[in-house]
Chain A
Amino acid sequence: MRNIQANQITKSISELFTQCSYIIGDDIKDSIDTALKIEPSPIGRNTLLQISQNYDIAARERIAICQDTGMSVVFVELGQDVHIEGGQFEEAIQQGVREAYLHGYLRKSIVAEPLFERVNTKDNTPAVIHTRIVPGDKLKLTAVAKGFGSENMSALKMLVPADGIEGVKRFVLETVERAGPNPCPPIVVGLGIGGTFEQAALMAKEATALPLSRSNENPKYKQLEEELLTRINELGVGPGGTGGLTTALKVHIIYAPTHIAGLPVAVNICCHAARHASQIL
């Protein structure tokens, strides 16, 4: 048994959200800079250049990469030998979000209720928290600041087994093409394939926060990731949607066992401001 103080969790969450809002991952930055060298569209290159310069300015001045500092999503891997002391676990996370957004000059974008009043909670809480209990005595926290320009372009479809691999490809390509300029391309595409309705969506969201260098361990899924990336970039959407060959930086698939009658596919789109950061306590 290992004790972790609730206020350590709050501190970690606050730091993770501030850090990822100001500083883009090296993988994303490098990928944009590489695209800048090969993008044939002049307007597209100008867009990529602004995106790259924007990362530098945000990191240097410690200001938000994008004004939409997102809805806060937290993935937790909680070791079963961890005991949380000195406060409630989820409240400790919410407090971390509150501190990051109130003190870090981040925009508060959350409304308390979605349909009738839509009143802003003024501190970006509540965060969406997904917790998994895992072996061990560590606590891994992953903060994802999810912008809604790209979230709104995401889609889920309950395909049937007969739709097969071609059906999955078609749905992904249609979703990305229909999104066009709206999700601020270049994008990162997270795919959740299999499981149930909600599990597919959750896997897709997790997939958007994987490092760009990661590929699926299953060679068939790895190949599908690569083929989809190529075909998405051949759609011609381009940086900012004004045409070009850089539409996506990466396609990540996470898959899971599913029902004999089902083939759920979730496409979660993340913009080039793909903000996430992790810490292990």
Chain B
Amino acid sequence: MENIHLDLPLDEKTVRSLRAGDAVTLSGSIITGRDAAHKRLVDLIDQGKELPVDLNGQAIYYVGPAPASPGHAVGSAGPTTSYRMDVYTPKLLDLGLRAMIGKGLRSKEVVESMKKNGAVYFGAVGGAAALISRSIIASEVIAYPDLGAEAIHRFTIKDFPVIVIIDSEGNNLYESGPKLYKKTAL
């Protein structure tokens, strides 16, 4: 498979040029967040308060890593299922969030907001958590340390392997891919 290498942060033009099915490796800086952190961020947005992290141009990885063993930046760190973030996501995209990394389906509202804002949804291989952790070379907690594995971390990544699942035009590999191989009707 042909591979596109991209350095973070991503600008809108680059993101709009990506197509569902593209294999990409990412290098640079990303933030992490899952259910509990999303809830706190959106509570702050709703109250009109300042966020502990600037989302503009940012890429977020839905992950709650395992504890790091000695000599490693993080423990195993594969993607968590993204749909649990869907109710919060459009508000983050409106603040300039450019890319999301996760696994699994997204809601219509998220896809519409991605099209409007020019954002991309990358999929990492769910369960390939030990392998993926090798492309995370540094990790620091930047917000909500009380959440433990669910705290917002900043990861420095190098050649992090992803596939474009949903592009900024709304093309969705989870729909187009299975169609190519489906044999039976239910």
* Interface residues in chain A, defined as those with a beta carbon under 8 Å from any beta carbon in chain B: 40-43, 46-47, 50-51, 53-54, 57-58, 61-69, 105-109, 120, 122, 147, 149, 152, 170, 173-174, 177, 180-182, 184, 231, 234-238, 240-245, 271-273
Q: Nearest B residue to A241 by beta-carbon distance? A: B174
Interface residue total, chain B, C-beta cutoff 8 A:
49
Complex contact A68–B80 (CB within 8 A):
yes
Partner of A244, one of B127, B181, B186: B181
Q: Which of B123-167 contact A (CB under 8 A)?
A: 123, 125-134, 148-149, 161, 163, 165
Shortest CB distance B143–A (Å):
17
Partner of B127, one of A105, A108, A184, A238: A184
Shortest CB distance B25–A (Å):
12
Complex contact A106–B178 (CB within 8 A):
no
Chain A contacts for B103, CB-based, 8 A: 149, 181-182, 184, 240-241
Complex contact A181–B125 (CB within 8 A):
no
* Interface residues in chain B, defined as those with a beta carbon under 8 Å from any beta carbon in chain A: 1, 21, 23, 63-69, 72, 75-78, 80-81, 83, 103-105, 123, 125-134, 148-149, 161, 163, 165, 173-174, 176-184, 186
Known A54-B125, A108-B149; further 4 A-B contacts with Cβ < 8 A: A46-B23, A50-B161, A235-B178, A242-B178
A152 to B83, CA, bound (A): 11
Complex contact B130–A231 (CB within 8 A):
no
A40 to B177, CA, bound (A): 12
Q: Nearest A residue to B75 by beta-carbon distance? A: A105
Chain A contacts for B177, CB-based, 8 A: 41, 43, 236, 238, 241-244
A68 to B126, CA, bound (A): 10
A149 to B103, CA, bound (A): 10
Chain B contacts for A245, CB-based, 8 A: 181
Partner of A242, one of B69, B149, B174, B184: B174
Complex contact A181–B105 (CB within 8 A):
yes
Chain B contacts for A40, CB-based, 8 A: 181
Given contacts A43-B1, A106-B66, contact A236 B179 (CB under 8 A): yes
Partner of A241, one of B77, B178, B183: B178
Complex contact B125–A47 (CB within 8 A):
yes
Complex contact B176–A243 (CB within 8 A):
yes
Q: Nearest B residue to A61 by beta-carbon distance? A: B130
A83 to B35, CA, bound (A): 44
Question: Could you name 19 residue pairs across A and B whose Cβ atoms are closer than 8 Å?
Answer: A42-B1, A43-B1, A50-B131, A53-B131, A62-B69, A63-B75, A66-B126, A67-B149, A105-B66, A105-B67, A106-B66, A107-B149, A170-B186, A180-B104, A235-B178, A236-B178, A236-B182, A242-B123, A243-B179
Shortest CB distance A61–B (Å):
7
Chain A contacts for B178, CB-based, 8 A: 180, 235-238, 241-243
Chain A contacts for B67, CB-based, 8 A: 105-107
Complex contact B129–A149 (CB within 8 A):
no
Q: Nearest A residue to B67 by beta-carbon distance? A: A105
Given contacts A67-B76, A180-B105, contact A149 B81 (CB under 8 A): yes
Complex contact B126–A105 (CB within 8 A):
no
Partner of B180, one of A61, A62, A236: A236
Complex contact A67–B184 (CB within 8 A):
no
Chain B contacts for A147, CB-based, 8 A: 127
A249 to B175, CA, bound (A): 22
A72 to B80, CA, bound (A): 18
Complex contact A51–B128 (CB within 8 A):
yes
Given contacts A67-B75, A170-B186, A182-B104, contact A149 B80 (CB under 8 A): yes
